[in-house]
Amino acid sequence: MIAKRIRLDPRDFRPHHDYVCLLKPPLIPGLTTVQMIEVDRAMIEDFRIELLQMMENAGRNLAHLARTRFLGGDPRAKRVIALAGSGGNGGGALVAARRLHNWGAVSVGLSQSPSAMTGVPAHQPDILERMGVPIVETRSVADLAPAHVVLDGLIGYSLKGAPQGAAAALINWANSQSAPVLSLDVPSGVDATSGTVFDPAIRATATMTPALPKGYRGLSACIAGARDRGGR
């Protein structure tokens, strides 16, 4: 019923690579970029679930995963650095930074430019500023102390070609860290549909995909580079 309403064709789904490699059917379907755009539209227009709600849900779950998997269940006094792009993924990463801050972590938002966020995502840096959580720009990367976990919310399924400028600099910085990197939706620099791994691209330790896995994770059973970037 829902799939019919939002005009998604199950025959186009691509299975999540972990299930392709490790488990027998039924398989978890994956979405292409075009399908994910339609899902987002349906959530907002058909079901009246607003973008701010989806961003909060994604960020809360990202924070929970970071806490349980990478911070030993106790984020107190642990350093968390959230890489935030200007779109919804960036907003979700900053939500996660806020949640972890509330749980006792020392959170830092790292943005290409906080002023570049507009619309719904712009709520998130404003909230962090009111809470006293620092947001620093790319040029301050060298001054940051090492993190216990890095959250990647730079670029989602809107990626068009290789990351450039500040986004590329932040990706290279994250890849140089010894801390695990947890990506939201798709590792920045990896095409969500084709699995193309651009240079640079985040080498994610793990990727949390809200809704359904993205199509590239199905392809990555055959594309080793994309699988390496996506982690688990």
Task: Tell me the per-residue pLDDT of 171-185, one tens digit each, with 9 for 90 and over.
Answer: 999 999 999 999 999
CA distances from 115 to 73, 86, 118, 125, 170 (A): 33, 9, 8, 9, 17
Share of the chain above pLDDT 90, in %: 57
pLDDT of residue 232: 61
Both tokens of 4, joined, read 């019919």
Both tokens of 100, joined, read 């972890």
The dihedral of CA 94, 100, 102, 107: what is its sign? negative
Distance from C-alpha of 188 to C-alpha of 14, rounded to nearest angstrom: 20
**Residue 84's closest CA among 98, 69, 71?**
98
Domains along the chain with CATH numbers = 2-19+28-226 (3.40.50.10260)
Cβ count near 212 (within 10 Å)? 17
Helix or strand or coil: residue 202? coil
- Residue-wise pLDDT for 147-198, tens only, equals 999 999 999 888 989 999 989 999 999 999 999 999 999 999 999 888 899 9
The dihedral of CA 185, 95, 174, 150: what is its sign? negative
Looking at the DSSP bridge assignments, the partners of residue 113 are: none
Question: Residue 64: in which H helix or E strand, if any?
Answer: helix 51-65
Cβ count near 199 (within 10 Å)? 10
In degrees and rounded to multiples of 5, residue 206 shows phi and psi of -155, 155
The 8-class DSSP code of residue 107 comes to: E
pLDDT of residue 18: 34
Share of the chain above pLDDT 70, in %: 79
105 pLDDT more than 60: yes
pLDDT of residue 157: 85
Helix or strand or coil: residue 131? helix
Distance from C-alpha of 159 to C-alpha of 216, rounded to nearest angstrom: 13
Both tokens of 106, joined, read 């020392």
25 pLDDT more than 70: no
Distance from C-alpha of 206 to C-alpha of 212, rounded to nearest angstrom: 15
In degrees and rounded to multiples of 5, residue 136 shows phi and psi of -115, 160
Both tokens of 135, joined, read 């947001």
pLDDT of residue 32: 84
Residue given tokens 């966020």 in the structure block:
117
Chain mean pLDDT for the chain: 82
pTM of the full structure: 0.82
77 pLDDT more than 70: yes
- Residue-wise pLDDT for 30-52, tens only, equals 788 888 889 889 999 999 999 99
Looking at the DSSP bridge assignments, the partners of residue 149 are: 80
Task: Look at 182 and 224; give whichever has higher pLDDT.
Answer: 182
134 pLDDT more than 50: yes
